[in-house]
Structure 1
Amino acid sequence: MAVSSDVLRPPRAVVRRTSGNWALQAALDRRGLGPVAGVDEAGRGACAGPLVIASCVLRPGDAAKFDGLTDSKLLTAAARDRMFDVVRARAVDFAVVVVPASEIDLIGVHVANIEGMRRAVARLTTHPGYVLVDGFRVPGLTAPSMPVVKGDQAAACVAAASVLAKVTRDRIMSGLHEELPAYGFHVHKGYSTAEHSSALLEHGPSAEHRWSYANVTSAAVAHGLRPPRRVVRSMAALGVVQNGEPPAIGVASSRRGGARIR
C-alpha cells in the first residue's frame, strides 16, 4: 500500500510578510517548534573589551509591546536603553554571557563567539524548541537551530538578543573609560576608529585590549610591550585589523589552528 507523501512531508510553515520581524518566530511556533530563542553578539569587531553574547525568548503574540524592535545598531542610544528595559521586563527568558578579552586572546574571537553562543543558550531556564542565530551556523547547541541572514533585523527574538548584548557591552565599555580614560572607550566602545587608533599608538595597549589583534600587537611593539597573557592569533582576528597590515611581531603556529605570539 502506497504511503501518501503528505504523511512523509508535513505542510510547510507559512511565513507572513505582514508579521514583520515576528513572522519567522510565529511560523515556528505554529508548527510546534517553540519556544523560539534568538541569539546575537556585540563586540566581535572591536579590538578592546569583551565579547558579549545574549539569548532571548519572547512571548508569542507580544509584538505590540515591542514597537520599534530591530537590530540594536539601527537604534539610537536612548531607544536601545528603552528597549533594553522592555526586553528585560517582558521576555519569557534571557541570558547574557560576557567573554573577556583574555579569553578571546586565548582561543580566538570566532571560537569565543561560538562557545559564548552555546553558553548563552544553555543558561536559559526555558529550554528552547528552536534557536535562531544571527548570521552563521552554531554547532553544539542544546536545540535545533538555524542561521538567519541579518537575523537581528529579520527575527524579533534575535533583535531582542542584539539589544541585550549591545547595551550590556556599551555599559561595560563606559565603565572601563572610568578606569582607562586615555583611550576614550565611552565614545568608540573599543572599535578601531581613528580616535581609538590614535590613542592606541600614543599610549600602547592596555590589559583590556585584545592582544591577538594585529593592530594591538603593532602598537605594543612600538612601545616595547609584551603580552600580559598567553595569546593565540587567529585568522578571524587578523581579518578585523585596519588596512590588513601584517603584525610586526614573530608568530609561531599552534595546535589550535591559529598562531602564537612569541
Structure 2
Amino acid sequence: MLTPPRTIVRREAGLYALERALQRRGFRHVAGADEAGRGACAGPLVAAAAILPEGRRGEIDGLADSKLLTPASRERVYDEVVARALAYAVVVIPAEEVDARGLHVCNLAAMRRALASLTTRPEYVLTDGFGVDGLDVPGLAVWKGDRVAACVAAASVLAKVTRDRIMVELDETYPAYGFAEHKGYITPEHTAALREHGPCREHRFSYVNVATVSGRDGSPPRARRPAPVVGHAASADLPDALFSDIRDMPSGDVAGASEEGPDEPMERFWAPGSTVGVALGERPRPPAPVGEDVVMEGGER
C-alpha cells in the first residue's frame, strides 16, 4: 500500500505555511487555540480559538504572537481577527477555578471548551505548546505555536486583549494593585503591592507568592482562598462591564462564535459555580505588555 509523501513545513516559510499545507491535504478549516494569563498570579485565565478563512482573506497584516505586538497593534489585529474569522470563541476561567482545579487542568479545559464552542467545526486543530485531548478531530501541539501558525497567533491576540480588558476593569475595583498596568503578572510593583495590602479575591491563592503573603502557605490550595461573602456568588466581585459587549443568544447555554462577525446574538454565561464562561464578540480595550513567567501550584517553573 502506497503512503502519501510527507509534507515538510519549514519555519522560514512564514506564519501561514502550516495552515496552507494542511489545507492542501484536505483540512479546509484549521482551528488554532491559545491562552493568556498562565503566568499571572491575579485575574482569570483566558483561552481562545479561531478559524481563519482560506486564501488572502485569512491573511491579516501584522498578525503575530500577541506578546510581540505593541498595544496599538494588538488592538488593530484584534479587530481584523474578529471581522475576518470564520469562527472564534473566548473562554474565561476565574481565579477561584484555577485555585480549585489547578492551572494546567484549567488551561486544557478552557482550550477544549473554546474549540468546542466554534460554530464552524474544525477539521484539524493546532494548539500552542500543549496537546488537548477529548477532541474528535486530529490535532497537533506546536511549540511556540503562536509564532508558527496564523490561527494560533489569532487566538493568542483574542485571549490577550480579552484578558487585558478584564484586568483594566478589575483595576477600578481594586486600584491598590495596579492591575491596569501589569495585568496581574508578577512585576516588582505588583509584588510590593501584595506585601503592603495583602491579596484580594482576584488573586490566585494556589500560587506560592500569594499564599505566602496571605499567611496560608501551609494550607492546601482550596483552603487558601478567603471565604465567599454569604449570599453572593463566588464570582460576584467581577465587574459587570466584563461582559458589556455580550448579547443574549436565542437558545443554548454556551455562546458560539459567529461566522458573520460580531453582530450576531451572543450569550452572557457565568452561572454561580460554573467552571468556565464563554465570552464572544468583545471589543478591545487598552492592553499592556506582559511577562510570561509561570508560577505553578507549590512552586515555580
TM bucket, shorter chain: 0.7 to 0.9
Deviation (angstroms), 1:61: 1.2
Q: Residue by residue, what CA displacement relative to the aligned partner does 1:70-99 show, whole Å, maximum 9, x if unpaired?
A: 100000000000000000000111000000
Q: Helix, strand or coil for the counterpart of 2:297?
A: helix
User: Following the alignment from structure 1 to structure 2, what is the Cα–Cα distance between the partners of residues 25 and 154?
Assistant: 10
Query: 2:103 aligned with 1:109, yes or no?
Result: yes
Q: Map of 1:130-145 to 2, 5 A cutoff? A: 130-145=124-139
Deviation (angstroms), 1:68: 1.3
More helix by share: 1
Q: Residue by residue, what CA displacement relative to the aligned partner does 1:156-197 show, whole Å, maximum 9, x if unpaired?
A: 000000000000000000110011000000010000100000
What's the TM-score once normalised by structure 1's chain length? 0.82
Query: 2:170 aligned with 1:176, yes or no?
Result: yes
Deviation (angstroms), 1:134: 0.4
What's the TM-score once normalised by structure 2's chain length? 0.72
Instruction: Name stretches of at least 5 consecutive residues in structure 2 with no aligned partner.
Output: 217-222, 229-294
Q: Aligned residue pairs: how many?
A: 229
- On the 8 A contact 1:13/1:30 being kept in 2, the answer is no
User: Following the alignment from structure 2 to structure 1, what is the Cα–Cα distance between the partners of residues 15 and 160?
Assistant: 19
Compared CA separation, residues 64 and 137, structure 1 to 2 (3 A): closer
1:38 to 32, 45, 53: 32
User: Following the alignment from structure 2 to structure 1, what is the Cα–Cα distance between the partners of residues 105 and 227?
Assistant: 18
Question: Partner residue of 1:74?
Answer: 68
Structure 1 consecutive aligned stretches of length 4 or more whose deviation exceeds 2 Å: 11-19, 62-65, 235-241
Q: Residue by residue, what CA displacement relative to the aligned partner does 1:193-250 show, whole Å, maximum 9, x if unpaired?
A: 000000001000000000111110111118xx962259xxxx9323448xxxxxxxxx
Question: Partner residue of 2:296?
Answer: 236
Q: Residue by residue, what CA displacement relative to the aligned partner does 1:38-76 show, whole Å, maximum 9, x if unpaired?
A: 000000010000000000000111367411111000000
Amino acid at match of 1:42: A
Question: Partner residue of 2:182?
Answer: 188
Query: 2:145 aligned with 1:147, yes or no?
Result: no
- On the 8 A contact 1:102/1:229 being kept in 2, the answer is no
Amino acid at match of 1:238: G
Q: Helix, strand or coil for the counterpart of 1:21?
A: coil
User: Following the alignment from structure 1 to structure 2, what is the Cα–Cα distance between the partners of residues 239 and 199?
Assistant: 21
Cα-Cα RMSD? 2.0
Stretch moving more, 64-73 or 20-29: 64-73
Amino acid at match of 2:122: P
Question: Partner residue of 1:257?
Answer: none
Stretch moving more, 118-127 or 136-145: 136-145
Deviation (angstroms), 1:15: 3.0
Q: Residue by residue, what CA displacement relative to the aligned partner does 1:74-125 show, whole Å, maximum 9, x if unpaired?
A: 0000000000000000011100000000110110000000111110100001
- On the 8 A contact 1:133/1:151 being kept in 2, the answer is yes
- On the 8 A contact 2:130/2:141 being kept in 1, the answer is yes
